[in-house]
Chains A and B, each alone.
Chain A
């Protein structure tokens, strides 16, 4: 993937106000070809509003969206024809068969024939039930039909809103590998929103974290995760241990519980052994080391600590 290409999706200073309420404020990011971009945030952070703006369901009050070089506002049809999307649940016409649903959407796109329909049906492995009425489908099948619908127009950008909602673990795994295949083998850029860090971590190449309508951070996923792992140390004597840890440069946000002899720190997991050694050298007994799987809340806590919190609050005043 080459860097000099025009980004598939370019969002600049996007904002949406409804009445006096600011739902989304000053969002900027871009997605390259073949990239899986995660859009991470808790419910109510403005993810859905952003997605709806990206697909033209909601008009932004400020900022621009450009898809494949076409402004969504000025050249709606040219911009949107490069997008396939599922917004929230894959809602289809329940009284029509899967195939009829696809035919309906095919008729709204330029030059999609029966063969292409068969192709996407095969891609999502729906051949055996495609001529049944959608009413009878399980949620997983609807999700797959939704993806088939999104892929129908050979999009350059696939926008999926919480795609794993309601799927069982094996379905989630299947979907994940399917999305990876689409992005890395077919070169489709994928925009995925989620409120589950773990999911984003497993799927995405890059992630933007949104909180209260603002992007807190955009980073490669490895960077985000590995840089900041929370680790619990059970140490004795505790006072000496705290002093020792405070002197180590890559350790941050130290918390301690002197009664239980426990210390929590943020540090790269790759440097646990190194730290352990220096503790032992200082004659501190290490009773246990417990790295935590980081949760979204942890990241928010980290990111909203200090300046971010303040600016965030100001913007909401």
Chain B
């Protein structure tokens, strides 16, 4: 009991620091800036395709997209690796068409879903890095680590309280993201559409899209699932960022390292069809929501189990290093 209340006290302390350092505020503001831009671009994209196709009927728009992609297939400039991808995309869109389900029915819930799918590799991890990159290093730069570690509390407990706080704050950031994107996008797209049916359960075997296991779920359930997966991806980013923050003792360096790693991961994705080993790199596995939506992966041999394993193994190693280092290290500065 005493142990538990002590841990809760520690977590409260860390939350207080996080709030008063205005980290959450910064993240909120970033979202407030980005979301309207994103909403508008989404709106513009819809408008444009409607204008191009000359029809506001989503079936015609979707059909047009399919035909456009079929035309891309016949171009000789597209490498064969991409063609498989396009073919699967066509198959999926055709499937939506055949079942008369609009994958992009306008509405704030659809926006929430699209937003998390599109930001899971860079923007959301970035927000998490803002949270995590200085959780430990700022105590070093500020010198407060000396006060923190001379309390009658074991070091591992202090680190654990910070880590738990990070997990909670990651959850909070995702909640904020969902709420803000709902409120902001709803202004344009309307606030309805929680029950819209969404198809999930696409499987990819080799170069084929297998639809035998597909089923419909209401959009709200899909969103909970997508955010659950995004949470896991963010948790991995957070954990690694946290470890770096333990190791480097300098906030700027720790942020720089994480940014470089994230962007590298994103760039490497482009070459992944040619360089298969990239799939073992942690930040090449952040697109967990694509498994849900059935969007084909560019790298052969990647599956949800594979990606989750890679993320988990990296996280475990990272957190182990963090605890061992923190427990043992002399505070010299």
Task: Tell me the A residues contacting B by CB distance below 8 Å.
Answer: 18, 52, 55-59, 76-78, 80-81, 83, 85, 87-89, 91-96, 100, 104-105, 107-110, 149, 153
**What chain B residues lie within 8 Å of A83 (beta carbons)?**
150
Write the nearest CB–CB distance from A46 to chain B, whole angstroms: 13
The distance in angstroms between the C-alpha atoms of A36 and B134, with both chains bound, is 38
The distance in angstroms between the C-alpha atoms of A175 and B147, with both chains bound, is 21
Instruction: Please tell me if the beta carbons of B152 and A78 are within 8 angstroms of each other in the complex.
Output: yes
Say whether B330 faces chain A, with CB atoms less than 8 Å apart: yes
**What chain A residues lie within 8 Å of B146 (beta carbons)?**
55, 57, 87-88, 91
Write the nearest CB–CB distance from B313 to chain A, whole angstroms: 31
Write the nearest CB–CB distance from B157 to chain A, whole angstroms: 10
Instruction: Please tell me if the beta carbons of B13 and A76 are within 8 angstroms of each other in the complex.
Output: no
The distance in angstroms between the C-alpha atoms of A94 and B9, with both chains bound, is 20
**What chain B residues lie within 8 Å of A52 (beta carbons)?**
330-332
19 examples of A-B residue contacts, CB within 8 angstroms = A52-B332, A56-B149, A57-B146, A58-B332, A77-B154, A80-B150, A83-B150, A87-B146, A91-B144, A93-B17, A93-B144, A95-B20, A96-B17, A104-B17, A107-B13, A108-B9, A108-B148, A110-B6, A110-B152
Instruction: Please tell me if the beta carbons of B144 and A107 are within 8 angstroms of each other in the complex.
Output: no
Instruction: Please tell me if the beta carbons of B10 and A107 are within 8 angstroms of each other in the complex.
Output: yes
Partner of B144, one of A76, A92, A153: A92
**What chain B residues lie within 8 Å of A80 (beta carbons)?**
150-152
Contacts A18-B330, A77-B154, A107-B12 aside, 8 further interface pairs with beta carbons under 8 A come to: A52-B332, A55-B150, A76-B154, A78-B152, A87-B150, A107-B10, A108-B151, A110-B152
The 5 A-B residue pairs with the shortest CB-CB distance in the complex, in nearest-first order:
A91-B143, A81-B152, A107-B9, A57-B331, A108-B151
- In this complex, what residue of A is CB-closest to B11? A107
Instruction: Please tell me if the beta carbons of A57 and B150 are within 8 angstroms of each other in the complex.
Output: yes
The distance in angstroms between the C-alpha atoms of A94 and B20, with both chains bound, is 10
Instruction: Please tell me if the beta carbons of B153 and A108 are within 8 angstroms of each other in the complex.
Output: yes
Write the nearest CB–CB distance from B239 to chain A, whole angstroms: 24
**What chain B residues lie within 8 Å of A92 (beta carbons)?**
144, 147
- In this complex, what residue of B is CB-closest to A53? B330
**What chain A residues lie within 8 Å of B77 (beta carbons)?**
none
Q: Is the interface of A mostly helix, strand, loop or mixed?
A: loop
B1-53 CB contacts (< 8 Å) to partner A: 2, 6, 9-10, 12-13, 16-17, 20-22
Say whether B142 faces chain A, with CB atoms less than 8 Å apart: yes
**What chain A residues lie within 8 Å of B22 (beta carbons)?**
95
Instruction: Please tell me if the beta carbons of A77 and B153 are within 8 angstroms of each other in the complex.
Output: yes
The distance in angstroms between the C-alpha atoms of A42 and B9, with both chains bound, is 40
Instruction: Please tell me if the beta carbons of B149 and A57 are within 8 angstroms of each other in the complex.
Output: yes
The distance in angstroms between the C-alpha atoms of A92 and B154, with both chains bound, is 20
Given the interface contacts A104-B16, A149-B147, does A94 sit within 8 Å of B152 by beta carbon? no
**What chain B residues lie within 8 Å of A104 (beta carbons)?**
13, 16-17
Partner of A109, one of B17, B151, B328, B331: B151
- In this complex, what residue of A is CB-closest to B2? A110
Partner of B331, one of A18, A58, A94, A108: A58
Instruction: Please tell me if the beta carbons of A96 and B16 are within 8 angstroms of each other in the complex.
Output: yes
Instruction: Please tell me if the beta carbons of A94 and B153 are within 8 angstroms of each other in the complex.
Output: no
Write the nearest CB–CB distance from A136 to chain B, whole angstroms: 15
**What chain A residues lie within 8 Å of B148 (beta carbons)?**
108
The distance in angstroms between the C-alpha atoms of A88 and B143, with both chains bound, is 9
Write the nearest CB–CB distance from A78 to chain B, whole angstroms: 7
Partner of B152, one of A100, A108, A149: A108
Partner of B147, one of A81, A91, A107: A91
- In this complex, what residue of A is CB-closest to B332? A58
Write the nearest CB–CB distance from B245 to chain A, whole angstroms: 17
Write the nearest CB–CB distance from A45 to chain B, whole angstroms: 16
The distance in angstroms between the C-alpha atoms of A105 and B328, with both chains bound, is 22
Bits for B303-333, please: 1 = Cβ < 8 Å to A, else 0. 0000000000000000000000000101110
**What chain A residues lie within 8 Å of B149 (beta carbons)?**
56-57
Instruction: Please tell me if the beta carbons of A94 and B142 are within 8 angstroms of each other in the complex.
Output: yes
Instruction: Please tell me if the beta carbons of A108 and B144 are within 8 angstroms of each other in the complex.
Output: no
The distance in angstroms between the C-alpha atoms of A18 and B59, with both chains bound, is 72
Which of B143, B150, B151 lies at the interface centre, i.e. has the most chain A CB atoms within 10 A of its CB?
A: B150
Write the nearest CB–CB distance from B249 to chain A, whole angstroms: 14
Given the interface contacts A58-B332, A149-B147, does A95 sit within 8 Å of B21 by beta carbon? yes
Which of B21, B153, B328 lies at the interface centre, i.e. has the most chain A CB atoms within 10 A of its CB?
A: B153
Which of B12, B147, B151 lies at the interface centre, i.e. has the most chain A CB atoms within 10 A of its CB?
A: B147
**What chain A residues lie within 8 Å of B142 (beta carbons)?**
91, 93-94
The distance in angstroms between the C-alpha atoms of A88 and B150, with both chains bound, is 13
The distance in angstroms between the C-alpha atoms of A55 and B147, with both chains bound, is 10
Write the nearest CB–CB distance from A135 to chain B, whole angstroms: 11
The distance in angstroms between the C-alpha atoms of A85 and B198, with both chains bound, is 60
Instruction: Please tell me if the beta carbons of A77 and B144 are within 8 angstroms of each other in the complex.
Output: no
Which of A55, A87, A93 lies at the interface centre, i.e. has the most chain B CB atoms within 10 A of its CB?
A: A93
The distance in angstroms between the C-alpha atoms of A211 and B2, with both chains bound, is 44
Bits for B160-173, please: 1 = Cβ < 8 Å to A, else 0. 00000000000000
Write the nearest CB–CB distance from B19 to chain A, whole angstroms: 10
Write the nearest CB–CB distance from A191 to chain B, whole angstroms: 13
The distance in angstroms between the C-alpha atoms of A108 and B332, with both chains bound, is 22
Write the nearest CB–CB distance from A221 to chain B, whole angstroms: 27
Which of B2, B13, B146 lies at the interface centre, i.e. has the most chain A CB atoms within 10 A of its CB?
A: B146
The distance in angstroms between the C-alpha atoms of A303 and B17, with both chains bound, is 49
The distance in angstroms between the C-alpha atoms of A272 and B8, with both chains bound, is 67
Write the nearest CB–CB distance from B38 to chain A, whole angstroms: 31
- In this complex, what residue of A is CB-closest to B333? A88
Partner of A96, one of B2, B20, B153: B20
Instruction: Please tell me if the beta carbons of B152 and A57 are within 8 angstroms of each other in the complex.
Output: no
**What chain B residues lie within 8 Å of A58 (beta carbons)?**
330-332
